[in-house]
Chains A and B, each alone.
Chain A
Amino acid sequence: MKANSPSVALFIPCYVDQFYPQVGIATLELLEKLGCKVTYPSGQTCCGQPLANAGYARDTVGTATHFIETFNDYDYVVCPSGSCTLHVKEHFPAIAGLEKEQEALGHKIYELIEFITDVLKIEKLEGKFPHRVGFHSSCHGQRGLHLSSGSELNQPPYNKARKLLENLAGLEWVELSRTDECCGFGGTFAVTEEALSIQMGKDRLADHLEHKTEILTGGDMSCIMHLQGIATRSKQELKFLHLAEILNQSLS
């Protein structure tokens, strides 16, 4: 984008900010390499999803108001998480007095990959990444934001992340047995339904290991945090990177 290019505000989810700063950095650098004018509005906190999914959406009015005000002055809001993006779009409580701003936000917030493919209209990235990459499709990104086709629906297959990854020189795409089964993170589900959450995570990891994934990637660090946590505990040889990290590395 040139001098009068639209302003992009970076929304870095709270757990990424605290635990995975490298994902935030990769997102920022990647967008800059693609020519965007990026700002990280200071004072941002969280979208409130953990509370809302636990049944306390009514307590997120303050959080949502703060979010809308923080990101009001930008043309686009870009976030390296499908789940948080979906929450802002679909699950914010209605904020009285900010109806217009809230509606505008719903239309200008994008998950990172869809921002690259749908707004920047980038069809392919020239770079290289000589690794066997297994893609974990996050449910909110896939079924919520439609970042890829779902196995349940009768629709032509597509996958926005795959389109970008597959063009990288040397990258081998891993075909999984279950292309879009949930990893079992699910926010508070990971703790309240611990046994199930772990089993679901183990099953996803087994699919990747069976198909010789070298690096497991995805658009949501929350799924990856859960999968990596299980893999580390059981000493599995698997590397984990966010999509932003792969794309940013491959362009350098």
Chain B
Amino acid sequence: MTHPENAAEFLKDSQKAKWHDETLWFVRDKRDKVSKGIPEWEQLRELASGIKDNVLANLADYLEEFERNATKNGIIVHWAADSEEHNRLVLEILQQQNCTAVVKSKSILTEECHLNPYLEKHGVEVVDTDLGERIVQFLNQPPSHIVLPAIHLKKGEISELFHEKLNTEKGNEDPAYLTQAARVHLREKFFAAKVAITGVNFGIAETGEFIVCTNEGNADMGVHLAQVHIACMGIEKILPRRKDLGVFLRLLARSATGQPITNYNSHFRSPSPGKEIHIILVDNGRTAQLAREKFRNSLKCIRCGACMNTCPIYRRSGGFSYNSTVPGPIGSILSPGLDLKKHSSLPFASTLCGSCTDVCPVKINIHEQLYEWRQEVTKTQGEFAKGLAMKLASGIFKSPLAYKISGSLMRNALKSLPNSLIYHPLNSWGKNRNLPDAPKESFQQWYRKNRS
């Protein structure tokens, strides 16, 4: 299904759609307020953007520096060209450990690689330990938001789900009660897992350490109880120096949820005695995006989700309407690079209002890239897909005479045609909107009579 079809479906439940819009607006508003508490906010964004530009311009060098230093620290570094290689590497490590049950803490990258179904197919139980992730996992759904994976669900729905899966009291919607039930359930899984998988927010080239940011502390719980830690990291997550973190940690949580700082920013540098840390550096289309000059800087993304919360389209169509691992504005400029045909409607799922660009903590020009992707999409669709209207328009607008004639034809048609014809069901403008009343003369005609 295309984005417009999914969006129309989402909007059918108008009350829930309104709730979804207001819930995310609340997060957006919180971000607006907290960001204004920092006088140097705009300079921070500028700085973060500059640091990321530097990273992207020297990515190969920083990655090798990271590999050298991480290896020196006793971390085992792997490279994966694509999702298949990534998944295979994870499975191999699990098989070496004879591990059939892993705990995972939120990693959009493993979603992107579809790691869960792959491991399950090979007999490994995967438990997502972030509360929101666990909820959508119970429902066999992907996350609908990269920071708030279960934001599409209401308390009542979660209460029902937990009643079914965790045997909680029927009808009890108390968030503290439900969270406690999830804690007890997850604790068991934590104790049983020999291997823990996490994502990576930042990898530091200078020190070979990496940082995982979570609010629930579950990444730490999983990692410290397990024998082996596998960290999956997109190659664009590199920062040159540890001190750069000061810029990014201040931006990340404020942009994501309006918090001054994420609850747990855990640094991993070397394994405890007798344990192992593996890090998998994943490309999966990133170097291809790096090579596309107009779209390169989409790789600056730190996955805060602010562009989703601010997007008037996302708030009213939900994460699933995008049908891509990363939804919302940033997803709409990343996903076409992975599969242009599949995601061809996404660059058009925007009014180009530009709000995404202005909230982005690393100053990605998201709406301009949406515009550029539109130009790419139409190239692949060829001349046949171009509507007759578009072909006519390009002819009309370069010729004053053609414009004048078609303009007056149109105005006269609007005046003389019956409403039933103007507002027929195939006319998307007129389904729920009136057209303006057609004036008797155009401005051009008025001007000629009155001024020249």
Contacts and interface: CB of A to CB of B under 8 A. Distances in A.
Interface of A: 12, 14, 16-25, 28, 40, 42-46, 48, 50-60, 62-63, 65-66, 91, 139-140, 143-144, 150-155, 178, 180-182, 184-201, 203, 225-226, 228-230, 232-233
B433 A60 contact: no
Query: Which of the four size classes fits the interface of chain B?
Result: 35 or more
B397 A152 contact: no
Interface stretch (B111-119, B203-211, B242-250, B388-396): B388-396
Contact of B378 (A56, A189, A194): A56
A155 B448 CA distance: 45
Given A152-B355, A191-B428, A199-B17, A21 B393 contact: no
B352 A54 contact: no
A38 to B, nearest CB: 9
A152 B310 contact: yes
B89 to A, nearest CB: 39
A228 B1 CA distance: 31
Interface of B: 3-4, 7-8, 11, 17, 21, 25, 32, 35-36, 38-39, 41-42, 310, 312-313, 316-317, 347-355, 357-359, 371, 374-378, 386, 390, 393-394, 396-400, 403, 407, 410-411, 428-429, 431-436, 438-439, 441-448, 451-452
Contacts, number: 207
* Dominant secondary structure of chain B at its interface with chain A: helix
A45 B402 CA distance: 9
Contacts of B11: 195-196, 199
Contacts of B347: 55
A150 B433 contact: no
A51 B393 contact: yes
A241 to B, nearest CB: 13
Contacts of B371: 52-53, 91
Given A53-B374, A190-B428, 13 more contacts: A12-B443, A12-B444, A17-B442, A19-B438, A54-B378, A55-B377, A56-B378, A143-B355, A193-B7, A195-B11, A196-B4, A200-B316, A229-B435
B4 A193 contact: yes
Given A53-B374, A199-B316, A226-B433, A154 B42 contact: yes
Given A19-B438, A191-B428, A28 B350 contact: no
B397 A63 contact: yes
B410 A18 contact: yes
A94 B300 CA distance: 28
Given A12-B443, A143-B357, A192-B4, A43 B436 contact: no
Contact of A193 (B348, B431, B434): B348
A24 B349 CA distance: 31
Given A53-B352, A186-B350, A191 B429 contact: yes
Given A18-B410, A45-B396, A54 B438 contact: no
A21 B446 contact: yes
A143 B4 contact: no
Contacts of A178: 25
B451 A40 contact: yes
A213 B11 CA distance: 26
B140 to A, nearest CB: 27
B398 to A, nearest CB: 3
Contacts of B403: 14, 45-46
Contact of A14 (B312, B352, B359, B407): B407
Contacts of B41: 154
Nearest to A189: B351
A24 B351 contact: no
A225 B436 contact: yes
B286 to A, nearest CB: 25
B352 A51 contact: no
Contacts of A60: 394, 397
Given A18-B407, A44-B400, A51-B394, A181 B312 contact: yes
